[in-house]
A and B are shown apart, each in its own frame.
Chain A
Amino acid sequence: MISEHSINLLFGIGLASAMSWQVQATPFTECPTPAFLVQKNTAEMFGVNLATGYYQTLASNMGTSGKVNAMGFNLHDNYMYGWSREFATLVRIGADFQIEPLMLTGDDPQLSFFVGDVSLVDNAQYMYQRGSGKGLYRLSLDASADDYLQWQKLVDGGSLNINIFDFAFHPDRHMLYSVDSNGRLWMIDPQSGDASQLGNVGQSGTFGAVYFDVEGTLYISRNQDGQIFRIDVDAEQPSAELFAQGPSSSNNDGARCAIAPIVEPGSADIDFGDAPASYGTLLSDNGARHQLAAGQLRLGQQVDGEADAKAYPQSDDAGFWFDDEDGVIFISPLQAGADFLMVVQSSGAGFASGWFDTNGNGQFDANEQLLADAPVISGDNVFLLSVPADAVEGETWARIRMSSVTGLAAIGGAPDGEVEDHAIYISDQHTKVSFYPGLQQKATLAFEDNWPMAGDYDLNDLVVRFQSRQISDAEDNMVRFELEGEVVAMGASFHNGLAFRLPGVDPASIDQSLIRFEVNGELQSQSLLESVAGDSVLVLSADLKAHFPNQGGCDFYRTEQGCQGNGSFSFSLRVPFKQGLTVNEFPAAPYDPFIFATTDSRAPVLDVSPGRALEIHLKNQPPTSMADVSLWNLLDDFSQPSSGLYYQNANGMPWAIVIPYPWQHPIERVDISAAYPLFAGFAQSSGTINRSWYLPANGKSELLY
């Protein structure tokens, strides 16, 4: 959901009713995050998000028929100041964006200014015009000072003669900075008038709006094309990095509260990618980002707004309720040297671009852009692309961007649209892929962990969402098994481990040295294969509780209303196979997921915990050879191993189920039959009716977490 908070802060102030210039305007209430940009011959005020280039009109009538330039934001009184061409004087601009001409005293230079800013240090407006007889001027804005609004010439424009169109004060030092039309970065000492050239930033043009942020990063906006560049003014060789696409204009001037961050902390109106940081994902790395606004272009159905990226492995896209990477789908396997098909689902007309790290170096290199400004329309857009022949086999990343503007790079801001980063796999052979429960879907595994005692049937003692993929070659040999998921709820007091058994898969058929197992994005070094004869048992965690140590004032993790939960356990598993295991020999999804006890207490169910020997499987799944068979028929268990009946009570109820859907589990102590009224019919009919009982529309939302 897009937060409107920031937008209101940015632009709500522009909704104030117009006032005549004679009326004293009210100041801004705080140091605003956006940049202010005044354009056009009859001045209009815009608010610009420098991070994305997104802008909105704040005032189309500023109370003048002429231009306003040389603007600066004054931290001392929270007004903006600028030079009015119509009134030939300094004007004050309040929160209503109406100008208020000011009466100046002293030796009027009879000039018109378009370069100016307000000092953060001495509460004064500085303005500049090049050329002999002109120069750098100061006007005090301190109403209590003797020289309030009195002209003071600091240096003649004959000695300070640089072709600049705006300048800005650094937030930490009393120095002015600007970039001239040839791309030279200047630092000007307003006391002495000395100007130092700090190097050429590599971009030329008319930079009519110049801003600083609180970090001391300089932003320059080029009139001709609206492009916004950022510059580290303290770099040894400062360079202008394209940062965002903003509005272009023949007349441009900007002002900004220099102590404000470029993106307001806590805001949620920018979409970021979530590839690893090396791909240029974080704001500090000029990561790919798009402004979010209601009704604008989207990829797929979901999008999430953030103040900064959550780069993999901290990505939130494996989250609980939605994955916003839902607008780009690879409908064929990616193979080195071969074509592949990609579908881009767009909400409207725009342009799509895509980068694929085919050499696996952790970056999107210039020659890795496989899709450039391709037009898209509303709905499914199919693209036939080619993986380079020299692509490196293995897992890597792709970034797809879509916007109404063209020319986007793999990094940088955009005023609308969305970015999606996708983990992809480039194969070196023809492959077949089976998905469970679907390409962009997740299944739900839900346990009662009181076995062999009956539980309360809220089936939320452990809730895990997962997706599996089986990859085979053209000859139907298993190549790889992939499993990804996360714990979404834990309404249990007991400590439990989590494992998946692959029945009938000999561990010797697994290329164990190439298993890749990550927990919460961290590569695990220890083997997860358990020594169980005949089957491969993949132990994802020996004790999940350890990942959720403190739930604050809540008893459990995400099963009680109002309890959001602390901790996380996500997993990503890649299991490669040696030659010889065929698809037909591989078990079908959902395999055999199970939990097992730890040595922690199972009281009051059992006086002494059997530890690993206590397993809880899906109904009628036999346990592994490590299970303690003496537990059969204890308490409420009604298993009959000789008949192939396991893990059920006397009425046939299970202790675990798998649902091929991102199921919403019942809240604590709510019976599944109450939360999903169709469940009873499904269960008692042996699944002949109510087969979709688990869909949200069939649940009682007030009883679901």
Chain B
Amino acid sequence: MKRSIVIYISALTLAACGGGSNAPAVSTTTSTGATSNEQPPSTQTEIAPSTQPQANNETEQPTAVASDQLQIDANFDFDHQQQLAVTIETPLISGSRYFATICAQQAVAEDDELSADYSQCLWQATLVDESTTAAIVLPAHIQQLVAELWQIHQGQYQVQRQTLQFYDGAATVMF
């Protein structure tokens, strides 16, 4: 059952850097629903690129060098992930319950809706404070993250989504 359509435009304008490299402009959506399966309506401002595992598209050509011939910086420790800090800011309304998730962004949403790849969620929480911090470890192959805020009120839910933009390994999301 369609409840409402809310367009939520974030003023988030952090510069793209770090794990969110090649990030697009900030995208936000808000959807609502009930306890049923129905797909909540949503509107988005922009779609970000895929985060699905895919072939490398960088210009580096494969070398024929054997591993024992490689010259590797002694300080490079072969990390394939990056530690990031996310702060989620949201007003909490009495009588509502809030969940938040941080997941890889869905590669291609069927209806051009900003959506999360739930199989690649990195963090989830029940929110009890208006400001919550999350320490996440971002795998190298995930290009874009989306934060979701789920508000549960009297058996209904409303979800808002935003893409994450990182600066110096940190991002703040305001719902």
Contacts and interface: CB of A to CB of B under 8 A. Distances in A.
Contacts of B148: 331
A383 interface: yes
A661 B139 contact: yes
Contacts of A659: 80
B70 A692 contact: no
Interface string B128-164: 1100111111011100000010101001110100000
A384 B148 CA distance: 15
Interface in A671-688: 671-674, 677-681, 683-687
Contacts of B70: 651-653, 673, 680, 683-684
Contact of B123 (A435, A673, A683): A435
Nearest to B125: A432
Given A333-B126, A384-B34, A653-B72, A691 B140 contact: yes
A553 B81 CA distance: 39
A332 interface: yes
Given A339-B152, A690-B60, A588 B97 contact: no
Interface string A220-237: 000000000000000000
Contacts of B122: 434-439
A624 interface: no
A332 B58 contact: no
A620 B119 CA distance: 31
A460 to B, nearest CB: 13
A374 interface: yes
Contact-size category for B: 35 or more
A331 B67 contact: no
Interface string A337-375: 011010111000000100000000000000000000011
A238 interface: no
A438 B37 contact: no
A690 B80 CA distance: 11
A625 B123 CA distance: 33
A486 to B, nearest CB: 19
Given A384-B34, A436-B137, A690-B56, A673 B119 contact: no
Given A653-B67, A690-B56, A382 B81 contact: no
A9 B59 CA distance: 52
Given A329-B118, A435-B122, A652 B53 contact: no
Interface string B105-129: 0000010000100111111111011
A326 B119 CA distance: 8
Interface string A459-476: 000000000000000101
Contact-size category for A: 35 or more
A671 to B, nearest CB: 5
A382 to B, nearest CB: 6
A450 interface: no
Contact of A692 (B54, B74, B77): B54
Contact of B75 (A344, A431, A437, A645): A645
Interface in B20-54: 33-37, 39-40, 53-54
Contacts of A508: none
A377 B33 CA distance: 15
A671 B65 CA distance: 10
B66 to A, nearest CB: 6
A517 B121 CA distance: 25
Contacts of B66: 457, 671, 673-674
B93 interface: no
B73 A652 contact: yes
Contacts of A443: 139
Contacts of A72: none
B53 A661 contact: yes
Interface string A481-507: 000000000000000000000000000
A457 B68 contact: yes
B112 to A, nearest CB: 13
B63 interface: yes
A696 B81 contact: no
User: 3 closest A-B pairs (Cβ-Cβ)?
Assistant: A677-B62, A652-B72, A660-B139
Interface of A: 326, 329, 331-333, 335, 338-339, 341, 343-345, 352, 374-377, 379-385, 430-441, 443, 454, 457, 474, 476, 583-584, 588-590, 618-621, 638, 640, 643, 645, 648-649, 651-654, 657-661, 671-674, 677-681, 683-687, 689-698
13 contacts: A329-B118, A341-B157, A379-B110, A384-B156, A384-B157, A433-B125, A434-B137, A438-B119, A474-B128, A619-B76, A652-B70, A683-B78, A698-B56
Interface of B: 33-37, 39-40, 53-56, 58, 60-63, 65-81, 83, 97, 99, 101, 103-104, 110, 115, 118-126, 128-129, 132-137, 139-141, 148, 150, 152, 155-157, 159
Given A329-B118, A686-B75, 19 more contacts: A332-B150, A333-B124, A339-B152, A345-B118, A377-B37, A381-B39, A382-B37, A383-B35, A433-B123, A438-B104, A621-B77, A652-B76, A653-B67, A658-B80, A660-B81, A678-B62, A680-B67, A687-B76, A691-B80
